[in-house]
Chains A and B, each alone.
Chain A
Amino acid sequence: MSKKVLIVDDEPNILMSLDFLMKKNGYEVFVGRNGQEALDIINKENVDLVVLDIMMPEVDGYEVCEYIRATPSLAHIKVIFLSAKVKESEIEKGYAIGADHYMTKPFSTRELVKKVKELT
């Protein structure tokens, strides 16, 4: 059975590219266009990994990650931040919250696929 991957971003074109990439590599893909949609999917589908943008209106990526890490039943979910934020402090914050990996935009598709495979 294929692993379930959730992609969260407010930029439609990025979602489109990631959707293609993950499906191409055999994952079952869910798409969230903001933090709230992401939380809904996480609670409904038993996802294995979340590719998470940070800067989103209302519920942002940090909050989604915090929710995952604070919920024991979701402890197994891997989190990869995919953000345009490149500052050292921001990256540190991402890991501190509980991310398994932090990748900056624009990202390398090969690297991302490699990382997702490692974590699932």
Chain B
Amino acid sequence: MVAEWVVIVCTFGYLLTLFGLGWLSEQLRKRGVNLANNPYVYALSLSVFCTAWTYYGSVGRAAMGGYDFLTIYLGPTLMAPLMWLVVRKMVRISKVEKISSLADLISSRYGKSITLGILVTIFSILGVLPYIALQLKAIGSSYQLLSGPSIFESMSQSSLIVNDSLFYMTLGLSAFIIIFGTRTIETAGSHTGLLTVISFEAIVKLVVFLIIGVFVSFFVFDGFGDIFTRVQTNVELNSLLSFGQNTGNDHWFLMVVLSMMAILFLPRQFQVAVVENNNEHHLKTAMWLFPLYLLVINLFVFPVAFGGRLAFFDTTVMGDSFMLAFPLSFDQNGLALLGYIGGFSAATSMMILSTFALSTMFTNNLLMPVLAQSEQFSNTNLSKLMIYGRRAAIMVILLLAYLYNRYVVSDVPLVSIGLISFVAVAQFAPATLGGLFWKGGTKRGAISGLVIGFIMWFYTLVVPNLIATGLLPQSLLDTGLLGTGLLKPHSFLGLEAFEPIIHGMFWSLFFNSGLYFMVSLFSTQTSKEWNQAELYVDIYKYSVDYEDKVAWKGKAYVSDIRKLLQRILGVQRTDELLKSFTVRYGSTWEKQQTADSRLVNFAERVLAGAIGTGSARIMISNIVKEDEISLEEVYSILKESQQMMELNKELTLKSRQLRQAKEELELANARLKKLDVQKDDFISTVTHELKTPLTSIRAFSEILFDNDDLSIEERSEFLETIVKETERMSRLISQVLDLEKLESGEQRIELAPLSLAEVIRHAVSATNFDGRHLTMDLPEGTLRIAGDEDRLQQVLLNLLSNAIKHTSDSTGTIIIAVAQQEEYWRVAVKDNGRGIDGENQERIFQRFFQARDQTRKKPLGTGLGLAITKRIVELHGGEIWVDSIPGRGSSFYFTLPMSHELEKLESGV
């Protein structure tokens, strides 16, 4: 044994060393050397993951044949490569948002929700407190082991707290944490002393573990081979070597997952990995150094564990105490003391950081939001209040842990306490990871998930422990809540495949993540939540010039902001910060009365670093009178844009109408121009047509005038030509005028009841067919129509004369036929003349188009007949067209409406 006073002196000596180291590093920092700003210090600090539970517990677990302790280190090892993805993102967000704890990170993500901050804080404290107590237990038992009369007799606990050395050690630790953790209230990345001490302790616990390991392996035994051979040959112990008895693969897998979450979400891990990170690139070192550290510290676990089983076979010495029992039983008191210090360092580093992280959460996410909202405290110096609050929290947490250890821990199976804590913090995984990588996560979702997760955690893992201590009846465990078998804490909904820890982890995370995603999908985000979601998920996009980018609406006075900062950070620190702000953005803000959004955001972030994002937001909004963008404003903005859109639509419509009008005008203009051209063409054509007979008339007149010696035949032939040409001219002139009248609408068609049959017969009788054969094919009856008799006569005469012109006297055949076609009478005038080719069939109805055939004598027509005919038919409401096969003859058809005009006329009469 070691004398008790020696142990006490060593313990406090070690604590004093820590004090000195912490103080030294803070002094160095003032001179500009920041020990904490170093990738190795950062990586070593992460080893705060290895607690007394590692130091003593791993050996104990391995000694009992449990290999699952390995999974606790396998998870973080697997997590190391992922750190670049997850931890780096959290670091970046934390720097931008001045995040001071995990509670802060989660609350800030979901719209700086105070509720979430409070929930995470309470759950963290509840989850981690037993874990801290476990460390105290380790210290206590190792102290007893060392100073006790024999390692084979357990010493009873001191009956009075004042006589319990552990109580004083707890107080000493509190003092240390208070001194190095709460000197300023800004929390992010500035605890050089703390970090230096943690990384120093990381080296201490590792080195001591290795020394003990070497002692056991090479001095007590003859190397690893010796130990394993002896175990193998020992009938009672060789079962230790069979791997993974009584545990399945799923168990291993879920344990690995659990420890992967622990490395991210344990408050102390978050504190060192994220909050205390000074440079993202330190992660690169940590990614290989931290797994290496885990490997090395576990190197001697099996040799010590198996060696212990061999050495202390059939004794009461437990695996948990092998680390000290070896040196003690070989009378190596110095080595034993060293081993004790190693365990002490593992325990204290965890306690220091956990307590520190929890106290920060407590003040920033629990105390401060309450204070900030309370009128009573609006004038007190919050800075002082915060520091005292944090100090009190540290004391309270450690004392609670002490009491928990003293009165509860002894009744609970040791191993599970750490794992229960792991499961507790794993509840933060859905809300945090969801928040980092999914924009859809909502505050309601996060709260629902967390609450259900913790209820399940409590019910499946804590309740059984409470039953074990006798606080709850055993029946609850055996028959379930209210006697419902499905609600048994250890086989919820009948699930019996897992052991309690995995069972609890499964159900709590199942309900937690399920509810988180479902509620998120069915709830909506506020604008603030949406902003934060955007910022978190796309942090790499937004992390530059953050102050400029955030939309902020409201009005604050510079003096108010300065006052607020001074209240919380003190005058000196405020001046420093504002100076740095001036350096970055210029000094214009000093001259202005009202602060711009950059200054307000800056102040909010600085405050967030000290009192948490939620509290900072409250404080700022108190002085800023920030206008939350209300729904009405959103509506009015929307309405404005709606009106703009409508206006725009109207304008578009107007301009389209204008364009249309312009197009119509252009079209009309083009039509007019075309008409003009047509008119010109018409005039020049008419002129030309008139000149032809005129030329003949003049030529023959001159010939007659100049030649007295013409024969009688010649004279009469020439005179006849002159007369014919004169007639042709008059006919042309009258037809031009006729057509002009019809086209201009000057000449109206006089509709009267008519018999089409009579009109046809009349026209036929007026025509000289010169021996051509005529066939008439008319239906029975009068064929009543409404029409202008003279004009219809003109149509028929024209068509008949054309037919005669194009047929020869002897072989010519002309058919006139009438048939009914729907509501029309269709009149056909057919001949067996030379016909009209396809391309001319349309054009013959145009003015002055004459299908000329030079092998024949030129027809006598004026070129206007068919044009006039077409016009007359159209004025009667009918149509005219021609069918022709060249060489076989032509058929002209025209239609006339049967009776509708007639009925109108008759009813009118």
Chain A residues in the interface with B (C-beta under 8 A) = 10-14, 16-18, 20-21, 24, 33-34, 55, 57-58, 84, 105-110
Contact = CB atoms under 8 A, between A and B. Distances in A.
Contacts of A16: 721
B854 A110 contact: no
A84 B691 contact: yes
A60 B854 CA distance: 13
B691 A57 contact: no
B692 interface: yes
B297 to A, nearest CB: 111
Contacts of A24: 707
B858 interface: yes
Contact of A106 (B699, B703, B858): B699
8 contacts: A11-B692, A12-B858, A13-B721, A17-B718, A57-B852, A107-B695, A107-B699, A110-B706
Contacts of B714: 20
Contacts of B699: 14, 17-18, 21, 106-107, 109
Contacts of A20: 703, 714
A107 B698 contact: yes
Nearest to B690: A84
Contacts of B706: 109-110
B703 A21 contact: yes
Contact of A10 (B691, B700, B854): B854
A14 B696 contact: yes
Contacts of A55: 688
A108 B854 CA distance: 27
Interface in B681-705: 687-688, 691-700, 702-703
A9 B647 CA distance: 71
B725 interface: yes
Contact of B696 (A13, A21, A58): A13
Nearest to A36: B854
A34 to B, nearest CB: 5
Contact of A57 (B687, B721, B725, B854): B854
Given A12-B858, A110-B702, A84 B695 contact: yes
Interface of B: 687-688, 691-700, 702-703, 706-707, 714, 718, 721, 725, 852, 854, 857-858
Contacts of B857: 12
Nearest to B709: A24
Contacts of B703: 17, 20-21, 109
Contacts of A34: 854
B48 to A, nearest CB: 107
A103 to B, nearest CB: 11
Nearest to B714: A20
A109 B703 CA distance: 8
A11 B699 CA distance: 13
Interface centre among A11, A17, A34, A108 (most CB of B within 10 A): A17
A61 to B, nearest CB: 14
A44 B799 CA distance: 42
A10 B858 CA distance: 8
A104 B792 CA distance: 40
A11 B691 contact: no
A84 B700 contact: no
Nearest to B694: A106
A106 B854 contact: no
Nearest to A34: B854
Given A21-B703, A55-B688, A11 B852 contact: no
A54 B714 CA distance: 28
A40 to B, nearest CB: 13
Contacts of A33: 854
A34 B718 CA distance: 23
B729 to A, nearest CB: 12
B91 to A, nearest CB: 90
B695 A14 contact: yes
Nearest to A111: B702
Contacts of B693: 13
